[in-house]
């Protein structure tokens, strides 16, 4: 009887330990991949995951203050069917409804889900074409020159409409990546931005954008972007 019970007790102990420490060790390399854009600058492709947040953040991590600035780029966002999704995409943290994701966010130190957000549409960009990272950077600089200066910890998320096909150096969206983030300098400040190409599945689009925001915020909190 003791011989039979011993493996069972070991199995129970292993399960209990796993339940106590359910966060797998996702290395930074598993979250993103460094690549180069058209002018040789560094950008980071956000790796997809079946669970956008579970296992990404760790309990006890330093507090991460996430402030979201959103830019809806392209004439397609004037379509009422698309505009209806802007509220959810423009406030990613406040629209988390999955309890597991909410718990993970809180344990990681992201406790304020209601930080101020900022949203603008830029519909006067020519559509139905490729749009490179350097052009997106130029558009962000123009918006900053016109008076919008994101806070130091903010992430500027650019949502592309269905007609704008993102490129990043030789890479193409949908073929090589689903989203990416990077940094640019303008007016004496460093802007952290992310680009999220359009996805027709609204739930997939939300989860992609949410993971992109979290990965970008973690990058800023844990690494020197220089």
Which residue ranges make up each domain of the chain? 26-222
How many whole angstroms separate alpha carbon 164 and alpha carbon 124?
12
pLDDT band at 51 (very low <50, low <70, confident <90, very high): low
Specify the higher pLDDT residue, 4 or 59. 59
The structure tokens listed for 185 are 């300098």
Structure tokens at 32: 């993103």
Query: Which of the two residues, 113 and 61, has the higher pLDDT score?
Result: 113
User: Which residue is listed with tokens 């139905």?
Assistant: 128
Does the domain spanning 26-222 belong to CATH 1.10.10?
no
Question: Does the structure show a pLDDT above 90 at 178?
Answer: yes
- Could you tell me the CA-to-CA distances from 199 to 68, 113, 144 in Å, in that order? 20, 24, 27
- What is the CB neighbour count within 10 angstroms for residue 44? 24
Contact 113, 105 (CB under 8 A): yes
Question: Cα separation of 54 and 207, whole Å?
Answer: 12
pTM for this entry: 0.85
């Amino acid at each position: 009887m003791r011989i039979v019970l011993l493996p069972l007790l070991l199995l129970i102990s292993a399960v209990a330990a796993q339940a106590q420490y359910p966060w797998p060790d996702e290395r930074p390399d598993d979250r993103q991949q460094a690549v180069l854009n058209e002018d040789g600058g560094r950008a980071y492709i956000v790796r997809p995951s079946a669970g956008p947040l579970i296992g990404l953040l760790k309990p006890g991590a330093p507090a991460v203050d996430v402030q979201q600035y959103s830019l809806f780029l392209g004439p397609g966002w004037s379509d009422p069917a698309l505009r209806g999704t802007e509220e959810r995409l423009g406030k990613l943290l406040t629209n988390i409804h999955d309890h597991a994701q909410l718990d993970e966010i809180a344990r990681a130190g992201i406790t304020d889900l209601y930080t101020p957000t900022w949203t603008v549409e830029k519909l006067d960009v020519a559509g139905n074409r490729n749009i490179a990272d350097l052009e997106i950077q130029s558009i962000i600089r123009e918006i900053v020159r016109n008076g919008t200066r994101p806070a130091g910890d903010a992430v500027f998320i650019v949502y592309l409409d269905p007609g704008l096909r993102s490129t990043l150096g030789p890479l193409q969206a949908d073929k090589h990546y689903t989203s990416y983030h990077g940094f640019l300098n303008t007016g004496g400040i460093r802007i952290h931005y992310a680009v999220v190409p359009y996805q027709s599945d609204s739930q997939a689009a939300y989860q992609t954008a949410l993971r992109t925001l979290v990965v970008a915020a973690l990058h800023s909190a844990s690494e020197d972007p220089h």
